Amino acid sequence: MLANIYFSYRSFTEELICVSEAIPSELPDEYRELSATVRDFAEQVVAPVSAQHDREHSFPYEVIAAMAELGLFGLPFPEEYGGMGGDYFALCLALEELAKVDQSVAITLEAGVSLGAMPIYRFGTEEQRQRWLPSLAAGTTLGAFGLTEPDAGSDAGRTRTAARLEGSPADGEWVINGAKQFITNSGTDITAFVTVTAVTGENERGKEISTIIVPSGTPGFTVAPPYDKVGWNASDTHGLSFDDVRVPAENLLGERGRGYANFLRILDEGRIAIAALSVGAAQGCVDEAVRYAKERQAFGTHIGGHQAIAFKIARMEARAQVARRAYYHAAALMLAGKPFKREAAIAKLTAGEAAMDNARDATQVFGGNGFMNEYRVARHYRDSKILEIGEGTTEVQLMLIARGLGL
């Protein structure tokens, strides 16, 4: 087993202080070493079992445990909470490498960190951080992000799940009723909690939406059977229901009434992570197509020698490179404390489309073999469509970009 990763991180903001004008052609040593370590791990540990878990729709507990041992779940968190002392960009680099070979594993890490643990780190009290973050950063538990509902997907402001406070904010209880859907990491054996958005009253803007931590196993909290999905078959995804679920008042995460705004911040950050994952998928398709084009013979030569195939793969590489630069740029702005909402949307839009387009083209390069599940590109073809939907659809990203332009 590979040893844990420990790095002396230089500030990414210092390395990319002029990111608006130029992005360096080569990453600092710490980041390149991280990428190389995770790349080796992905090929040696993740890839050999990916097809089996995809075929069986089974959660890869042994892979997740190995990722935990490597320190991946703690990458962006301080050492005082059991983290690796890195930053969000380090997480993105790890996601990119994992997604080259298995998007299900990559999304388990992405959701576990950016959607499960990050809200606790960003908005939790010190007591909540001390209680939940060490095991989340260690990868021995997972947290989930309960936002989407049957009637509140892209329009998350239509949340209907409700919570009423019985008793005082100091020692009372929240009573929660409602339902969520499409929630990642919500039903594994190591899921510790789901943080849910719920209507907790009314304010001058309408609904008062807050976020509440609901531990797994709480009476009235039911996890539905797993979905039968097109892709991401080794990722854990469930619907959830809450029937008079009672949790302590202290389980309120962040300020009451700030839940919706806080989760929008989490989604902005998460779009950079999803963009990184998408770039990994796009690059994985390039790598597989190049390898196959050099090996496959047709009409007297390897198929990569035919201009039609060579140009198709060249376009795939161009998409991956452009998308990578987009998420690097968004990440640098975020870590520099500058506005990044529009850039995150651009990165997510560009990378998600690159992943889907490259998966389609790679499948075409493989011909009939590309339609066979034994080949990695077939899994990318099934997996990549969700990258244009999850954590904000393509249409939502276009809306955010347009708003950023003042339209």
Q: Which residues participate in catalysis according to the annotation? A: 391
Rounded CA separation 315/217 (Å): 49
CA–CA–CA angle 88, 93, 98 (5° rounding)? 125
Rounded CA separation 380/285 (Å): 7
Q: Which residue is it, tokens 């380090």?
A: 90
CB of 86 within 8 A of CB of 76?
yes
Cα–Cα distances (Å) from 110 to 96, 97, 165, 186, 251, in that order, read: 10, 12, 32, 14, 23
Q: Tokens representing 407? A: 């339209």
How many Cβ atoms are within 10 Å of 264's Cβ, its own excluded?
A: 13
Region of residue 296 (phi > 0: left; psi between -120 and 50: alpha; otherwise: beta) = beta
Query: What residues form DSSP beta bridges with 179?
Result: 241
Rounded CA separation 67/114 (Å): 16
The full DSSP string for 264-314 is HHHHHHHHHHHHHHHHHHHHHHHHHHHHHHHH-EETTEEGGGSHHHHHHHH
CB of 71 within 8 A of CB of 4?
yes
CA–CA–CA angle 167, 173, 174 (5° rounding)? 115
Collect all residues with Cβ–Cβ distance below 8 Å to 404 and sequence separation of at least 6: 341, 342, 345
Q: State the first-to-last Cα distance of the chain, in angstroms, to the nearest integer.
A: 52
CB of 257 within 8 A of CB of 330?
no
CB of 340 within 8 A of CB of 13?
no
